[in-house]
Amino acid sequence: MLNKQNILNRFLSYVTVDTESDPNSETTPSTAKQWDLANKLYDELIAIGMSDVSIDDNAYIMATLPSNVEHDVPTIGFISHFDTSPDFTGANVKPQIIENYNGKDIILNKDENIVLSPDYFEDLLLYKGQTLITTDGTTLLGADDKAGICEIMSAMEYLINHPEIKHGTIKVGFTPDEEIGRGAHKFDVEKFGANWAYTMDGSQVGELEYENFNAAGAKVKFNGKIVHPGYAKGKMINSMYYATEFINALPRLETPEHTEGYQGFFHLYAMNGKVEETTLQYIIRDHDFDKFEARKALMQKVVEDMNENYDRTVVEIEIKDQYFNMKEKVEPVMHIVDIAEDAMKALNIEPIIKPIRGGTDGSQLSYKGLPCPNIFAGGHNFHGRYEYVPLESILLATNVICKIAELTALKYKS
């Protein structure tokens, strides 16, 4: 049986290390502070008895749990990222432990009147009677994806200490910069050496995902001209009005707050404007590749139309693809999803198979030759002050990893 207190202590030791990534940095990892946790994980992998532990110049960590069976078993992997989102601060995280949650409001921060309420976050009611780990309302928690790291580390330690559980060779990988779309960019698939892998980066218990968004980012720049407002008639060109025109030209209801399931969106997530120049930052998402291409084409068309209407270059756009739907790469090897589903059912967990409204390292890794479905890590409300994770969910995910290892070995036993 897993040691609940040890796993809690392990998770808390991870989330209290600030590992926020930075999309404006060109280094890998994008922030030097990610090395603080990377080095800690490297040392811990050695301490629990993993083999071939390595950390490269870009902070990618890999390790091996050797097979303890004589028959041939495909090598499988488990992967999580240790950076946290730049959407909200990850500095000075002060976790709160709510034991035997009663289903009522949780006061995260009395002084600032920050409340985690089931009236707004209905998923809380799934975890009545359980132990919740929350923020203090001033930071994110970092369960995305330090819960995944905790689960992988705890599962490997458990398998090492319980050799009666038979398994093939298992690889683990911890990556930087997933939150800014670069987690798989420098991941050495050949060195990792797995036939397939699973990212532990989902949300509620039971989630099992092998479809994700096609994703792109767009930077849109508007050019204006500043003169003294008292003498501006016929001379001033206010770039912020151009930006407003562009925003209004896109479908207003095709945004994250109005979409769900397989519906794609345009998401304006940052704006920086003055009269002389305004910049908008968008992400573009769609599960359907043709619709994804159409979204990019629409943005480009709006730019062209505006420049034509004003008879000058008032707006410029740069669109970069980020990742693609892993479904195309996973469907030919659906047995890897079946094994994860069987593992959950063996543990009386109801699998929730649905598309990811986002992406994981697995989406890029699948296109690099490592098919990589995504499994729940247990957290909720990622990237903000209301993030929380039930300790029991971490324990269940840890058990799923162990069960996948066991079932894979059984499946290939002659």
Structure tokens at 228: 């003294």
211-252 pLDDT tens trace: 999 999 999 999 999 999 999 999 999 999 999 999 999 999
Structure tokens at 247: 């925003």
HEC assignment per residue over the chain:
CCCHHHHHHHHHHHHCCCCECCCCCCCCCCCCCHHHHHHHHHHHHHHHCCEEEEECCCCCEEEEECCCCCCCCCCEEEEEECCECCCCCCCCCCCEEECCCCCCCEEEECCCCEEECCCCCHHHHHHCCCCEEECCCCCCCCHHHHHHHHHHHHHHHHHHHCCCCCCCCEEEEEECCHHHCCCCCCCCHHHHCCCEEEEEEECCCCEEECCECEEEEEEEEEECECCCHHHCCCCCECHHHHHHHHHHHCCCCCCHHHCCCCCCEEEEEEEEECCCEEEEEEEEEECCHHHHHHHHHHHHHHHHHHHHHHCCCCEEEEEEEEECCCHHHHHHHCHHHHHHHHHHHHCCCCCEECCECCCCHHHHHHHCCCCCCEEECCCECCCCCCCEEEHHHHHHHHHHHHHHHHHHHHHCCC
* Residues labelled catalytic: 83, 178
Spell out the residues 6+ positions from residue 223 whose beta carbon is closer than 8 angstroms to its own. 237, 239, 242, 276, 277, 313, 314, 315, 316
Distances (CA, A) of 313 to 17, 306, 309: 46, 8, 10
Contact yes or no for 238/268 (Cβ under 8 A) = no
Share of the chain above pLDDT 70, in %: 100
* Interstrand relation of 374-376 and 196-202 (parallel, antiparallel or unpaired): parallel
pLDDT on residue 360? 81
Share of the chain above pLDDT 90, in %: 96
Contact yes or no for 98/134 (Cβ under 8 A) = yes
Domains of the chain, by residue range, sit at 4-212+325-411, 214-323
CA distance 87 to 144: 12
Q: What is the mean pLDDT of the chain?
A: 96
**What is the pTM assigned to this prediction?**
0.89
Distances (CA, A) of 347 to 148, 395, 400: 18, 11, 7
> pLDDT class for 414, splitting at 50, 70, 90?
low
What's the whole-number mean pLDDT along residues 374-401? 97
Contact yes or no for 186/57 (Cβ under 8 A) = no
Contact yes or no for 205/378 (Cβ under 8 A) = yes
Contact yes or no for 139/92 (Cβ under 8 A) = yes
Q: Is the pLDDT of residue 107 over 90?
A: yes
CA distance 402 to 159: 7
288-309 pLDDT tens trace: 999 999 999 999 999 999 999 9
Structure tokens at 398: 């840890």
pLDDT on residue 413? 85
CA distance 149 to 377: 9
pLDDT on residue 319? 97
CATH topology assigned to domain 214-323 = Alpha-Beta Plaits (3.30.70)
What's the whole-number mean pLDDT along residues 363-379? 96
> pLDDT class for 375, splitting at 50, 70, 90?
very high
pLDDT on residue 327? 95
169-181 pLDDT tens trace: 999 999 999 999 8
Q: What is the CATH number of domain 4-212+325-411?
A: 3.40.630.10
